[in-house]
Amino acid sequence: MKQDIKTLVHEKEQIVHVQIYHMDDVKRENETGIHSYHRNEAIPAYQYEKSVSAPDWMLMDLGYDIGGADWYVHMESKRIFPVIPFVFFVGAAIYATLFTIWASINAYHHGRLHMGWILVFAFCNVLGYLVYEWMGKRAARNEWRWRPLHE
């Protein structure tokens, strides 16, 4: 069993630390029948730790009561979930900045750049650019339609 656990921990990159306790050592029941687990007061029957370089904020504790069994398993593993929102917001900020620059340069090349369009591009993004394009086509259509025949 110990070799199987060691092999499992080595195969799974996110698992950092495993402790297995006898259920009698960690499980407590209060007078209302609620169960709690006090692993800090017990000595693990088996433990295995893999050396991993990860900051503490990337580690999470997981405890498992294997139903009806005599064992309580405590694992510490790396989590990547806190990084995902950070990457998303950084990517969204970079996208919005580059889109605003691109749309502003495009408006400059069309000779229609002013502060109002820059604000629309920055705050409304693609929707603002679609409004810019629609206004440009509308202005071009009206200019052609109302042009005098003889100048």
Within 13 Å of residue 143, how many CA atoms lie on the same side as its CB?
A: 6
14-54 per-position pLDDT tens digit: 777 788 877 777 777 778 877 777 767 777 878 877 776 76
Rounded to whole angstroms, the Cα distance separating 132 from 126 reads: 10
- 98 vs 24: which has the higher pLDDT: 98
CA distance 60 to 75: 8
User: CA 142, CA 124: separation in Å to the nearest integer?
Assistant: 25
The structural domains of the chain, with segments of one domain joined by +, span 2-78, 83-145
Share the mean pLDDT of the chain: 80
Distance CA 110, CA 139 (A): 13
User: Is this structure's pTM higher than 0.85?
Assistant: no
Q: Is the pLDDT of residue 125 over 80?
A: yes
Residues whose CB falls within 8 Å of the CB of residue 22, separated by 6 or more in sequence, listed in order? 42, 45, 70, 71, 72
**CA dist 91 → 80, 103, 118 (Å):** 17, 18, 20
